[in-house]
Homo-oligomer: A and B are copies of this chain.
Amino acid sequence: MKAIEVVNKELVLGDIEKPEPKENEVLIKVMAAGLNRADIAQKNGLYPPPPGASDILGLECSGVITEVGKEVTSRKPGDEVIALLAGGGYAEYVTCPEYHAIRKPLELDWAESASIPEVFATCWLNLFIEAQMREGDKVVFHAGASGIGTAGIQLAKAFGCKSFITAGNKKKVDFCLKLGASEGEIRSKSIFEKIKNWAPDGVDIILDPVGGDYFENNLSILGLEGRLIIIGLMGGASANINLGRLMMKRHKVIGSTIRARDLATKNKVMSDLENKVLPLFEKKELKPIVHEVLTFSECQKAHRIMEANENIGKIILDLN
């Protein structure tokens, strides 16, 4: 089958063996695959796939099930699905555990559908399971116009929370505000002051892909029992921490990735997504944010758009 391989940190269209589903897995004919920042890190040798995962890039797809393992009970060939993958999405076919493939939302096309799994699963896991988000919480999304940001803004709004976003330029900020963010600012030295003005008692949750550069400032804007979720390190991995404030304000600092989680956690997240999030897409309360759809052979270009931070929402590869 066709698949995109990494050769010297470049993406090359290759031909590899079609995977076979294990007993509890489904085989999916991929119709569209979403790009994620982790793909770039993996391409550059900085984010090796977890043990047992495909070494082909690609953490999410939409597609049609063509084969199921012996023990699979919840899915059957012909099912149209969206899937969270530990890898392998940049290919004609991919396998995943049955519960990581959930039904494709009604009325969305393949590209729109492929934009959902990774970012909505990541936001669900981090906001609802890790950070225990509750109605009325004030949430900060750094990189608000990213796939994660655009998913987070919408989830926060849908569940009665307010959000403050930061983004790289005015166009992105405006987009986020239109999408439902309560307030937003272009990234600068003064963003943390502005967040303090927005939330004088501190914010409840920060979903942060920046890390090092932002860490101390993030903790300074966090209110009592606030939760800082570290999901990326675009600003470096090293930081100082004031444990006195952490203790007296009862802060939680939580490191989080979704890819290497155990089956049970991912099953739970995907089940929540199917039951609590997909219906909101079908009621038009949530919408997929697709920046651009590119063909399989344009994958290098697709990566360059993400590397240049040009995208608002998701970049999708069309494999149909």
Taking a contact as CB atoms under 8 Å apart, the answer to whether B255 and A252 are in contact is: yes
- Which of B230, B240, B246 has a CB less than 8 Å from the CB of A246? B230
Chain B residues positioned under 8 Å from A254 (CB to CB): 250-253
Interface residues of chain A: helix, strand, loop or mixed (majority): mixed
- Which of B230, B233, B247 has a CB less than 8 Å from the CB of A256? B247
Instruction: List which A211-261 residues lie within 8 A (CB) of chain B.
Output: 211-212, 215, 230-233, 236-257, 260-261
- Complex CA gap A251/B229 in Å reads 10
Chain B residues positioned under 8 Å from A249 (CB to CB): 255
Instruction: List which A168-207 residues lie within 8 A (CB) of chain B.
Output: none
- Which of B232, B243, B253, B255 has a CB less than 8 Å from the CB of A212? B243
Instruction: List which A35-62 residues lie within 8 A (CB) of chain B.
Output: none
Taking a contact as CB atoms under 8 Å apart, the answer to whether A257 and B247 are in contact is: yes
Chain B residues positioned under 8 Å from A256 (CB to CB): 247, 250
Complex copy number for this chain: 2
Taking a contact as CB atoms under 8 Å apart, the answer to whether A241 and B244 are in contact is: no
List the interface of chain A (C-beta within 8 A of B): 211-212, 215, 230-233, 236-257, 260-261
Taking a contact as CB atoms under 8 Å apart, the answer to whether B241 and A248 are in contact is: no
Complex: chain B residue closest to A247, CB-CB = B255
Q: When A231-B247, A252-B252 are in contact, do A241 and B240 touch as well, CB less than 8 Å?
A: yes
- Complex CA gap A254/B242 in Å reads 12
Taking a contact as CB atoms under 8 Å apart, the answer to whether B257 and A248 are in contact is: yes
Taking a contact as CB atoms under 8 Å apart, the answer to whether A243 and B239 are in contact is: yes
- Complex CA gap A255/B242 in Å reads 11
